């Protein structure tokens, strides 16, 4: 029975990864004066040098340009995108994956390459989806990247938009402190909550996934394990202070969620009643300032990210939705 459940989880992950086609790559020139746009496959050379010089040479993703001054000087608060399970920043592994659509929308609204960033973590590809979880190495990359972007741009706060596994990973990464997983691997994380203005969590499994079961009688695979998405597992108990119903899941000054009742992963699959855990949709965040909710296609697990760029923008810029 557990083998069957694992197969269903992996099939669901593969299904949402193949549910559509991604929009085109960002143009190679920026609309803001002479600020060069390196696109989504690499960091801008100036930002990459900064990462190398600050002990973060292992980080990959997109963001930055050839300068941080002049036409490249940030005006808006930087936006940091954090992808979901099996995905990557550029969307090279999952159709409809990555953050190309959202980034292009923000560029069309006047954002510069030095105001838009994303970081890679975990194993990419649908075939690896059952292996990814809230691993210390992944949380370290997210934590260090958020701090690096904040310091590099010189802004007092940043905005973070996360999808799927990225939502709960960001929540734990910005909490700070020492984090250890079931393998005994530990990492020290810098507390970053005060540095975040707006957090947008899209299709997150904030209370776990019904398809993973309840700890310790859960489906066994890392993504459903003690530090994955088994309901009430050690990860959620530690993240939420030992409470299944914490008083707040708020991140930063403003927290929003984007969720769907047609989400074929969090609703396992496409059955609205299975979206609920402890009487709440698992993608909702206790204490959130608001939530945008969808009920039908094309707003599935990937569609909730891919088709909501304007909603993401409004949440970040105007705190509306």
Q: Model confidence over 28-47: pLDDT tens digits?
A: 343 445 799 999 999 999 99
Q: Smallest Cα–Cα separation from 274: which of 285, 261, 286? A: 261
pLDDT tens column, 87-145: 999 999 999 999 999 999 999 999 999 999 999 999 999 999 999 999 999 999 999 99
What is the model's pLDDT at position 221?
Answer: 97
- Which pTM does this prediction carry? 0.90
Of these ranges, 147-156, 238-247, 262-271, the one predicted with the greatest mean pLDDT is 147-156
113: Cα within 13 Å, side-chain hemisphere: 34
Q: Domain with 32 in it: what CATH number? A: 3.40.50.1820
pLDDT in tens, 282-292: 999 999 999 99
Q: What is the pLDDT of residue 2?
A: 39
How many independent structural domains does the chain possess?
1
Question: For position 4, what pLDDT does the model report?
Answer: 33
| CB 121 within 8 Å of CB 80 | no
The domain in which residue 220 lies consists of: 2-318
pLDDT in tens, 62-74: 999 999 999 999 9
Neighbours of 96 (CB within 10 A): 24
CA distance 190 to 176: 5
Tokens of 176: 């700070």
């Amino acid at each position: 029975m557990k083998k069957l459940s694992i197969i269903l989880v992996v099939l669901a992950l593969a299904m949402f990864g193949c549910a559509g086609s991604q929009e085109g790559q960002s143009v190679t020139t920026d609309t803001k004066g002479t600020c060069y746009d390196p696109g989504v496959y690499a960091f801008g050379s100036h930002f990459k040098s900064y990462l190398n010089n600050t002990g973060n040479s292992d980080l990959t993703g997109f963001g930055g340009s050839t300068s941080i001054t002049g036409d490249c000087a940030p005006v808006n608060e930087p936006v940091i995108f954090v992808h979901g399970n099996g995905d990557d920043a550029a969307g090279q592994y999952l159709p409809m994956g990555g953050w190309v659509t959202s980034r292009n929308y923000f560029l069309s609204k006047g954002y510069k390459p030095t105001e838009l960033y994303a970081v890679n973590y975990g194993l990419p590809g649908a075939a690896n989806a059952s292996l990814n979880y809230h691993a210390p190495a992944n949380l370290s990359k997210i934590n260090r990247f958020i701090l690096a972007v904040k310091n590099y741009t010189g802004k007092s706060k940043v905005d973070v938009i996360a999808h799927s596994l990225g939502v709960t990973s960001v929540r734990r990464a910005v909490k700070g402190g020492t984090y250890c997983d079931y393998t005994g691997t530990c990492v020290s994380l810098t507390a970053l909550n005060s540095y975040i203005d707006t957090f947008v969590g899209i299709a997150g499994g904030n209370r776990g996934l019904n398809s993973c079961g309840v700890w310790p009688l859960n489906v066994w695979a890392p993504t459903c394990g003690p530090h994955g998405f088994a309901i009430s597992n050690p990860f959620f108990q530690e993240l939420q202070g030992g409470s299944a119903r914490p008083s707040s899941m708020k991140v930063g000054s403003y927290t929003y969620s984007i969720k769907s009742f047609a989400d074929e992963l969090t609703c396992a699959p496409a059955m609205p009643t299975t979206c609920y855990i402890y009487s709440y949709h698992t993608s909702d965040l206790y204490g959130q300032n608001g939530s945008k909710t969808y009920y039908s296609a094309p707003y599935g697990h990937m569609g909730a990210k891919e088709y909501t760029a304007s909603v993401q923008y409004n949440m970040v810029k105007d705190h509306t939705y």
